[in-house]
A and B are shown apart, each in its own frame.
Chain A
Amino acid sequence: MDKRALRMAASDDVATVIDAVSAGEKVCVRTKSGEVACMLTAREDIPRFHKICLIERDAGDTVTKYGQIIGRVTSPVGRGSYVHIHNIESIKTGVGA
């Protein structure tokens, strides 16, 4: 069975996986109303409730979740990659880890 992820707003660059995901597994991303937003393949292991990248981002790009900016990318992130404190940082605090 495909692993599940939740996208909080249409403009989001990331989704939250609600199952722990292993590299190479298929992930089904759904919206708040339950529709399938997209299918993608995880490039890395991602723990439960952590984020998967939906759209390739370059260093310096913003990251959107809840339809609003949650931070900035510090090193390039591909679709299906794990997004966390190792590759994004807060714009308000400059702190990612």
Chain B
Amino acid sequence: MRGYRRPDGSIGIRNHVMVLSTCGCANMVARRIADAVPGAVAVENSKGCGQVGSGIEIMRRCLANLALNPNVFGTLIVGLGCESTKPYELAEAVRSRSDKPLEVMTFQDCGGSAAAIEHGVELARGLTERAAGAERCEMGLADLVLGTNCGGSDATSGLAANPVAGVVSDAVVAAGGTVMLGETTELIGTEDLLAARAATPDVADDIYRIVCGLERSFAEAGVDVRGANPSPGNMAGGLSTLEEKALGGISKGGTSPIMEVVPYGARPGRRGLVIMDTPGYDIESVSGMTAGGAQVLIFTTGRGTPIGNPLIPVIKVTGNVECAARMADNIDFDASGAVEGASTIDELGSSLLELLERVCDGEQPAAERFGFNDFSIFHNQEVWCTCLP
């Protein structure tokens, strides 16, 4: 595999110039800039203002870390000017941690949309010209941060797609790379089992903290996650207990010890299998892993889903033979042989690993081919208009 070497020593599998919108109000300007410059990709923001406390803290962390993602050659930060993410401070935060090319501008400083787009196009062109000369280098699985996620799961997920993805996760970890397991909602019920796999007592404590913390917030909202799981549909599909359902989900992360638990959008400090505290909403979960530095992601599904990401290739895997046939244009890997009897989980795992390596080398999975660039940063808290009684 060949990648792009970055100043911090990380290796990208894509060479994007990111046009990063710091809040929703700047999205259209960022989009027009990226559309006008081949090689530039817009990352639009669903929030970025009207946020306080941990909400704005998460947003700032994620925006800065996106610029550090190895798939990003350089970044043009496009702000509105008065938003809580503070574009110029964000640029300083990135510069203090990275020598990657970086430009920053705001709509309000430029004096309107036309002037902002014109100025942004000029800056983005400068970045793409430099990106064309990015240094290529050999890379291996040890250089990878592989994200994992599941969505639209069904009875085949825990039998085929997730265990097959787990074979790949184990191979990446064995080679010295990093694998991210997320979706804390899906971990409820497995905390004892995960804690038993924790590399240190501190990691075990962190697992209990994120799982029990989430369950507490569900309880405060009047939702009983444990009692409601597995659902009647899950039970009809053969799942008997919450543990069984959750274990089928986490099998996509493989069997390695858990080295670290990181907050949403944070960059792991350890190699091996790590847990990122992400929500169950797929687009926010995948976006958080992108901020955390994943260069590529394996996404398992039973019922099918089209989602992609602007910065990282998302590889779709299903164990459902009907899904693989009906949504062939969205599915990259058919793991149904594991339940239809045509092949084994280990064989399919080896084939999926080969696909992962081809994708790292430039092959585009379906979502990337379609240009699907779904993106949303989890926004924990919101501030409503203070003029309401």
Interface residues of A (CB under 8 A from B): 4, 6, 8, 16, 18, 30-34, 47-51, 65-71, 83-85, 88-93, 95-97
- Whether the Cβ atoms of B244 and A34 lie closer than 8 Å is no
- Which one of B83-91, B134-142, B173-181, B340-348 is at the interface? B340-348
Measured in the bound complex, the distance between the Cα atoms of B234 and A90 in whole Å is: 14
In the assembled complex, 11 residue pairs joining A and B whose CB atoms fall closer than 8 Å, in A order, are A48-B238, A50-B238, A65-B247, A67-B255, A70-B240, A70-B247, A88-B240, A90-B189, A92-B192, A93-B189, A93-B242
Query: Least Cβ distance of B234 to chain A in Å?
Result: 10
Interface centre among A8, A33, A89 (most CB of B within 10 A): A8
Beyond A34-B347, A47-B238, A68-B193, whether A91 also contacts B155 by CB under 8 A is no
Does B241 interact with chain A (Cβ within 8 Å)? yes
Chain A neighbourhood of B238, CB < 8 A = 16, 47-51, 84
- Whether the Cβ atoms of B241 and A66 lie closer than 8 Å is no
Chain B neighbourhood of A51, CB < 8 A = 238, 240
Measured in the bound complex, the distance between the Cα atoms of B155 and A89 in whole Å is: 19
Chain A neighbourhood of B156, CB < 8 A = 49
Q: Taking CB as reference atom, which chain A residue is nearest B237?
A: A49
- Whether the Cβ atoms of A71 and B244 lie closer than 8 Å is yes
- Whether the Cβ atoms of B235 and A85 lie closer than 8 Å is yes
- Whether the Cβ atoms of B241 and A32 lie closer than 8 Å is no
Name the contact of B240 in the complex, choosing from A48, A69, A71, A92 (C-beta under 8 A): A71
- Whether the Cβ atoms of B344 and A93 lie closer than 8 Å is no
- Whether the Cβ atoms of B344 and A30 lie closer than 8 Å is yes
Beyond A33-B344, A47-B238, whether A8 also contacts B243 by CB under 8 A is no
Query: Contacts A34-B346, A68-B243, A70-B241 given; 15 further ones with Cβ under 8 A?
Result: A18-B159, A30-B344, A32-B344, A50-B238, A67-B255, A68-B247, A69-B243, A84-B235, A85-B241, A90-B243, A91-B241, A92-B241, A93-B189, A93-B227, A95-B242
Name the contact of A32 in the complex, choosing from B189, B248, B345 (C-beta under 8 A): B345
Chain A neighbourhood of B339, CB < 8 A = 6, 18, 49
Q: Taking CB as reference atom, which chain A residue is nearest B225?
A: A93
Q: Taking CB as reference atom, which chain B residue is nearest A50?
A: B238
Q: Taking CB as reference atom, which chain B residue is nearest A66?
A: B247
Measured in the bound complex, the distance between the Cα atoms of B240 and A89 in whole Å is: 7
Beyond A34-B347, A95-B226, whether A84 also contacts B251 by CB under 8 A is no
- Whether the Cβ atoms of A95 and B243 lie closer than 8 Å is no
Q: Is the interface of A mostly helix, strand, loop or mixed?
A: loop
Number of A-B contacts (CB under 8 A): 96
Query: Least Cβ distance of A83 to chain B in Å?
Result: 7
- Whether the Cβ atoms of B159 and A92 lie closer than 8 Å is no
Measured in the bound complex, the distance between the Cα atoms of B346 and A70 in whole Å is: 23
Measured in the bound complex, the distance between the Cα atoms of B296 and A88 in whole Å is: 39
Measured in the bound complex, the distance between the Cα atoms of B255 and A66 in whole Å is: 10
Chain B neighbourhood of A33, CB < 8 A = 344-347
Measured in the bound complex, the distance between the Cα atoms of B229 and A97 in whole Å is: 10
Name the contact of B243 in the complex, choosing from A18, A71, A97 (C-beta under 8 A): A71
Chain A neighbourhood of B117, CB < 8 A = none
Does B79 interact with chain A (Cβ within 8 Å)? no
Chain B neighbourhood of A49, CB < 8 A = 155-156, 159, 237-238, 339
- Whether the Cβ atoms of B159 and A89 lie closer than 8 Å is no
Chain A neighbourhood of B235, CB < 8 A = 84-85, 97
Does B338 interact with chain A (Cβ within 8 Å)? yes
Query: Least Cβ distance of A31 to chain B in Å?
Result: 8
Top 5 A-B residue pairs of the complex, sorted by shortest distance between their CB atoms: A34-B344, A90-B241, A32-B345, A49-B238, A70-B244
Measured in the bound complex, the distance between the Cα atoms of B248 and A93 in whole Å is: 17
Measured in the bound complex, the distance between the Cα atoms of B338 and A85 in whole Å is: 25
- Whether the Cβ atoms of B240 and A83 lie closer than 8 Å is yes
Measured in the bound complex, the distance between the Cα atoms of B251 and A32 in whole Å is: 13
Chain B neighbourhood of A67, CB < 8 A = 255
Query: Least Cβ distance of A23 to chain B in Å?
Result: 18
Chain B neighbourhood of A48, CB < 8 A = 238
Name the contact of A95 in the complex, choosing from B155, B227, B338, B345 (C-beta under 8 A): B227
